[in-house]
Amino acid sequence: MERRNLSGGEVMLDSINVNQLYPRWLVARENSRPFVLIDVRSPDEFRAVHVPGAKLIALNTLMARANEIPKEGDVYLICHSGARSAQAAMYLGQQLGYNNLINVDGGTMAWTNAGYPVEKGA
């Protein structure tokens, strides 16, 4: 996991790549443990392909739906490549005080390219 400063050092962004995320995701699924993965892409992108178990909260609905994101425990944010999820993490950190967010570098594209399981549909 990597930690980066955003916006002049005010907000720290933890990030993880898909090869680091996959074992955490797999262990949680195999042991029926909670695993919070928020997909901030559009509904159409989500329906096309997403990580199994991901919850869709599109970036344009984030303000209205932020209460659905836990403030405790690890929360992974994913998008297509990692840019929108980093934007979501920055907003949630700066505006709402979240400090438990982990951005998935490479996003769903990297997850798919690595050959990890995906789902299609809503």
What is the set of active-site residues? 79
- The DSSP secondary-structure symbol of 29 reads H
Distance from C-alpha of 2 to C-alpha of 31, rounded to nearest angstrom: 26
Rg for the chain (alpha carbons), in Å? 13
Is residue 65 within 8 A of residue 57, CB to CB? The reply is: yes
Distance from C-alpha of 80 to C-alpha of 104, rounded to nearest angstrom: 10
Is residue 52 within 8 A of residue 117, CB to CB? The reply is: yes
